[in-house]
Structure 1
Amino acid sequence: CTMSTLLSFCGLKLPSKLLHRVSIPSLNQCYGACTPQNFSDYDSIKQDFRPAVPEHFNFATDILDVWTEREKNGSQLSNPALWWVTGEGEEIRWSFEELGFHSRKVANVLSGACDLQRGDRVMLILPRIPEWWLVNVACIRTGTVLIPGTSQLTAKDIKHRLETSKARCIITSDSLAPLVDSVSSDCLKAKVLVSQGSREGWLNFGELVRLSGSDGHVKVCTLQHCVSVLYFTEALYLPPENKVWVDGEMTTVVFVDRYWLDLTPTDVMWNNSDTGWAKSAWSSVFAPWIQGSCVFVHHMLRFDCKTVLETLAKFPITTFCSAPTVYRMLVQEDLTRYQFKSLQHCVSAGEPINPEVMETWRLHTGLDIYEGYGQTETVLICGSFKGMKIKQGSMGKPSAVYDVQIIDEDCNILPPGKEGDIALSCKPRRPHFLFSGYTDDPMKTAATLRGDFYLTGDRGIVDEDGYFWFVGRSDDVILSAGYHIGPFEVESALIEHPTVAESAVVSSPDPIRGEVVKAFVVLTDAYTSQDPEKLVAELQEHVKKVTAPYKYPRKIEFVEKLPKTISGKIRRTELRSQEWGKR
């Protein structure tokens, strides 16, 4: 983008996100000023949305640095760019200028001490600390490819990601450094430790930044098809050990920020998703900062309802984004004890949210929860947008960037009220915002397409008013509290236990998490009778040690045999239907 185009952006409302080989609408094609938008005229807004695609774009230099210039020119940005707090009262507030200063020094570290070139891959596994945001921006500045990961990864997970991605650098904390050392890849050029201490074989992040000298950094020219971020995702059609990684780049999704998050430079946004998930990039980096909004972060290593409510009451947070699981837990607290004087807008994504939760939240806060539905591969597909009538239980109407349909197995578009596959039209023109495919896995990529449509892997219904309703997953992947969990990995962990002969893992309804992992377990002949509850706890702890802790089965049922097909495949569908009462 040219500088004149970027300067014209400064008064515009514009979101952005890292995703998978998609395109960037031209900044001067965005509509409206940075003020809250009304979505009451859905049809005309959707019809008029026509973003263009520039050849070059770099989020750090073309967006963040422009906000820095506005600060220097006296524009009234009343809030910091990043506002980080801890439960112990520690705070860090960075303006856009300070964010730019620190991120350029980190960019010099990546290019200098770490000897990384444009296109090299950087694995980043950190909790919610300021360094996570600095590395995000620094990778964009240098053209290196970011690979975020959750701090709950096991040694096995880290090894798989390093070997698959061929990462040249890993940046993590002292808590995970021992796991990295136990599985280190030959591809790694540098291991960087974000810690006050030191570790043999590791570079110290703080020391490198202090020694980096000038904050000057040469701008990297980024083409629209340059890879910017890679996300590992649970396999929908393959066993979890064949997890795939997806390639991505910058994209600007004007519709999301303008009509769903509804952000302006006066807003303070708190999105509490894990730093390893794509939602953190979407709502904790790109969407707020492209609007000049403040990104609010609470360190909070362990989720605590009272901490969340106290934070919403204490700080001037205007926009709150969280998974339905969090809202389900919050409404079980005594909300009458808190006053949210600044809170204006609440959104939810990651899984369907219960109408009862929405009503309870509205009753006690006076605020609706605006639901959003999307994927790492797509960003937002449907949503309840500001100004639109909310139908509790519905995921709203399609984003302007997609033609969303409910189709049958023959790609026929189904009428309202008929259940089918939720699909996105890909022909005659593939949407700019849709990922191009799973890296090095053409078969899995092909499996996402049916005729002229991209399959989301979900089932749904559209009503007469054009609102979409989620029915469930069309595959075996379990969506629990925003985490996608493949059954095969849990089954593989269970079978390692000496008492387990066979198991089948499916989703099971849960009032808090929406759905949880349930394991049907067949015990070995060698099993000696013991207290069933004790064995359940033993198996749960075993799974936590073998794989990421959040994947353990919260429910276990012992059975004599599992339902199978003639060819011997486990019929998880039958067990899942049994759990959800659909027999």
Structure 2
Amino acid sequence: MKLLLKLQKLKLLWTLKLPNRTFHGHPRLLSSDVYSQYESIRQGKQEIPKYFNFASDVLDKWSEIEKAGKRPSNPAFWWINGEGEEVKWSFEELGFLSRKVANVLTKECGLQKGDKLILILPRIPEWWLVKVACMRAGIVVIPGTSQLSAKDILYRLQASKAACIITTGKLAPAVDSVASQCQLLKTKLMVSKGSREGWQNFTELYQNQSADHSCIKTRIQDPMMIFFTSGTTGSPKMTQHSQGSLGFRPLLSERYWLDLTPSQIIWNTADTGWILTSIASFFDPWVFGSCIFIHNLPQTDSEVILNTLCRFPIDALVGAPTLFRMLVQNDLSKYKFMSLKYCMSGGEPLNPEVMEQWKSHTGLDIHEVYGQTEMGVICSVSKGMKIKPGSMGKAAPLYDVQIIDKNANILPPGQQGEIAIRSKPIRPLGFFSEYLDNPKKTAESERGDFYVTGDRGTMDEEGYFQFIGRDDDIIISSGYRIGPFEVESALIEHPAVVETAVVSSPDPLRGEVVKAFVVLSPTFSSTDLKSLTRDLQDHVKKTTAPYKYPRKVEFVKELPKTVTGKIKRNELRDKEWGRI
């Protein structure tokens, strides 16, 4: 499915959808000439460009502004690891280093425009360099969390037909264990000290490379990134985004949810495998010329996070609700934040009591953000908006968000239905292009004139949306989206398990966790259940990513089923949440 229709139709979209907006006291984006171009597009006076590349049209423009002395002396990228190591890059340095990496990918690895590259790195600077380099070379990058298992990596390599993988020495053995089954995998790059047979050392290659590289010309609808979703009834799907949906979108959405300036610093604590990091720690802040701050954070430690906020001039903090639930458990009176003014929470609903505790101890509000892998930011409570506890704010620019029924009829304010975004007659720019190689799923994601999110909610008279729950069985725990099918598939491999159903279960810290209902094989009926529970949990950790294991296990004689034999997961889930 094409992301964009004819430019003339797109011009109509911007004319109809984008309001006239002014931003008092904010420096213009990029430069006066560039700003004027995007302002004309926002007002419908100019068509969206046919060609666009985030690296050359945004990052390199900021580099030029820097060299002209028209940007504050703020780094573009600031990384620490908590052990004394620190990296600071200006936009000019980011451009220099990313061109070297682009040459590594094209000259040393032989990658070409349109080739796919799987990037599995923790929060280290190389993750940002590789992403920018891929844009310069027209290579499609596929981020993945460092917690992926060998089985997860195999599936992603085979499904994507990736020609290259870049990861750390820690994950290299897992890749090697499945690489023989991936005939299209040409190159393996390792971001670690030392060497390994069959791998090239990333650092050595790029240090010796020339920085002479010309950014490739890309169309605005050309594929740029692919994210794997967590499926509820099958394997993860490939959600493909274009140069336009991720890179150009924030230029048109302007300051909606972040509202940063070139002198400000933002810290997003999300994992590098999720789209939130690409949005909040890459595209959107750099559109504003802001500084992206990153702490390596091998583990989420509330004291480390609080001390970092006290030691560094961080203006904006983005995190999952779990982060704020952890932070409010500390004695916040001991901490004095250096610069923090703006806090945002996304990935799952935030408890109103946590918002109240954070506000009472820090004086800061938490602004909720709602989005999906397919859409990016859909709703948010932006600066200046009234905060309604339990509400995730209003629709983002470019999106016509509605509550609809099963027949795609728009429901009135206050009535519960499915959260949907208008996709016809014109597909908004921020939309994903398609579920790659899955036209059936792409078609099923639409109902009438709308893309359906699978989430239920309501909208009030003022246009504020409230999240009710998910129509599907997806589990969101500590910001991680977990598909029950993957956990069930892992459990069923264990000889003790005859049948299993996985649902969400409430948890005071994580919001919800994975719970498995298990029907045991008769040969295991006399086994010590505590020991067996640990065994099943360890089995899932080894078979899938560690964060997917069931933190709760309940052994049952049978599972509730429909007359056709389908397991009633909704019944188990409702019982777990006290709804029945």
TM-score, normalised on structure 1?
0.91
User: 2: CA distance between counterparts of 1:398 and 1:172?
Assistant: 37
What amino acid does structure 2 have at the position aligned with 1:511? P
CA distance in 2, matches of 1:576, 1:458: 15
Does residue 112 of structure 1 match 2:107?
Answer: yes
Partner of 1:188: 185
CA distance in 1, matches of 2:76, 2:463: 37
> Which secondary structure does the structure 1 equivalent of 2:108 belong to?
coil
Aligned counterpart, 2:35: none
Q: Gaps (5+ residues) in structure 2?
A: 28-38
1:245 aligns with 2:241: no
Q: Which amino acid aligns with 2:439?
A: P
How far apart are 1:201 and its partner, in Å? 1.0
1:27-426 aligned at under 5 Å gives the runs 35=25, 52-184=47-179, 185-212=182-209, 214-236=210-232, 238-240=233-235, 243-251=236-244, 252-254=249-251, 258-426=255-423
For residue 392 of structure 1, what is the amino acid of its counterpart? P
* CA shift for structure 1 position 285: 0.8
Equivalent residues of 2:318, 2:344 under 8 A apart: yes
For 2:527 and 2:423, how far apart are their aligned partners in 1? Answer: 56
Superposition deviation, residue 49 in structure 1: 6.5
Query: 1: distance between equivalents of 2:157 and 2:47?
Result: 36
Q: CA deviation at 1:491?
A: 1.1
* Counterpart position of 1:568: 565
Cα shift readout 1:191-226 (whole Å, capped 9, x = no counterpart): 1111111111111111111221x3111121110111
Q: Which amino acid aligns with 2:214?
A: V
| Structure 1 residues 24-72: Cα deviation after superposition (integer angstroms, max 9, x where no partner) | 9999x996569559xxxxxxx9xx8758521111111111111111111
Equivalent residue runs for 1:480-495 within 5 Å: 480-495=477-492
Aligned residue type for 2:95: G
- SS where residue 522 of structure 2 aligns? coil
Aligned-residue offset at 1:95: 0.8
Equivalent position of 1:9 in the other structure: none
Q: Alpha carbons of 1:451 and 1:152: their partners in 2 closer, same or farther (altered >3 Å)?
A: same
Q: d(CA) in 2 for partners of 1:60 and 1:31? A: 27
Helix, strand or coil: the match of 2:241?
coil
Please give the secondary structure, in 2, of the residue aligned with 1:228.
strand
CA distance in 2, matches of 1:35, 1:124: 39
Match of 1:458 among 449, 455, 458: 455
How far apart are the structure 1 equivalents of 2:563 and 2:128? Answer: 52
Report the CA distance between 1:76 and its aligned residue.
3.5
Q: How many equivalent pairs are there? A: 550
Secondary structure at the counterpart of residue 263 of structure 1: coil
Q: Are the equivalent residues in 2 in contact too, given 1:106–1:138 (CA < 8 A)?
A: yes
Over the aligned positions, Cα root-mean-square deviation in angstroms equals: 2.1
Residue 32 (structure 2) aligns with: none
Q: Which digits, 9 at most, give the CA deviation of each residue in 1:404-448, with x for residues without a partner?
A: 111111222111221111111122222121123211111111111
How far apart are the structure 2 equivalents of 1:266 and 1:550? 36
Question: In the aligned structure 1, how far is the partner of 2:174 from the partner of 2:257?
Answer: 39
Asked if 1 retains the 8 angstrom alpha-carbon contact of 2:346 and 2:369, the reply is yes
The structure 2 residue matched to 1:501, chosen from 488, 498, 501, is: 498
Report whether the alignment pairs 1:435 with 2:437. Answer: no
Deviations 1:271-293 (A, max 9, x none): 11111111111011111111110
CA distance in 1, matches of 2:506, 2:253: 30
CA contact (8 A) 2:256 2:396 kept: no
- Whole-Å Cα distance in 2 between the matches of residues 260 and 469 of structure 1? 17
Deviation at 1:257, TM superposition (A): 5.3
Given that 1:22 and 1:248 are in contact with CA atoms closer than 8 Å, whether structure 2 keeps it comes out as no
How far apart in 1 are the matches of 2:524 and 2:84?
Answer: 52
Task: Return the alpha-carbon distance in structure 1 between the equivalents of residues 408 and 56 of structure 2.
Answer: 43
TM-score w.r.t. length of structure 2: 0.91
Could you tell me how far 1:533 is from its partner in structure 2?
2.4
Take 1:315 and 1:364, find their aligned partners in 2: how far apart are those partners? 19
Q: Deviations over 1:240-276 (max 9, x none)?
A: 2xx2212211232346550211111011110111111
Partner of 1:516: 513
Q: Distance in 1 between matches of 2:296 and 2:100?
A: 23
Of 48-57 and 418-427, the range deviating more from structure 2:
48-57
Paired residue secondary structure (1:306): helix
Q: Give, in whole Å, the separation in 2 of the partners of 1:376 and 1:52.
A: 27
Distance 1:300 1:525, change over 3 A: same
Query: Matches of residues 442-453 of structure 1 in structure 2 within 5 Å?
Result: 442-453=439-450
- State the identity as a percent: 57
Q: Measured at CA, do residues 329 and 176 of structure 1 come closer, stay the same or move farther in structure 2, by a change above 3 Å?
A: same
Out of 460, 474, 477, which is 1:477 matched to?
A: 474
Alpha-carbon distance, 1:532 to partner? 2.6
Instruction: Provide the C-alpha distance between the structure 2 equivalents of 1:222 and 1:215, rounded to a whole number of angstroms.
Output: 20
Contact 2:378 2:396 in 1 (8 A): yes
Aligned residue for 2:299, secondary structure, equals coil
CA contact (8 A) 2:53 2:135 kept: yes
**What code does the residue aligned with 1:527 have?**
F
Q: How many angstroms apart in 1 are the aligned matches of 2:3 and 2:309?
A: 36
In structure 2, do the counterparts of structure 1 residues 33 and 416 end up closer, same or farther at CA, with 3 Å as the change threshold? Answer: closer
Give yes or no for contact 2:455–2:469 (8 Å, CA) kept in 1. Answer: yes
Amino acid of the structure 2 residue aligned with 1:503: T
Question: What is the CA–CA distance in structure 2 between the aligned matches of 1:390 and 1:537, rounded to whole Å?
Answer: 43
The 8 Å contact of residues 21 and 247 in structure 1, kept in 2 or not, is answered as no
Distance in 2 between the 1:447 and 1:509 partners?
A: 30
- The Cα of 1:474 is off from its aligned counterpart by 0.2
Give the 3 Å change call, closer, same or farther, for CA 435–186 of structure 1 in structure 2. Answer: same
**Which segment is superposed worse, 254-263 or 573-582?**
254-263
Cα deviation for residue 399 of structure 1 reads 1.1
Output the amino acid matched with 1:142.
A
| Matched letter for residue 164 of structure 1 | A
Match of 1:346, SS state, is strand
How far residue 460 of structure 1 moved from its aligned partner, in angstroms, is: 0.4
Contact in 1 for aligned 2:3/2:427 (Cα 8 Å): no
Counterpart AA for 2:262? P
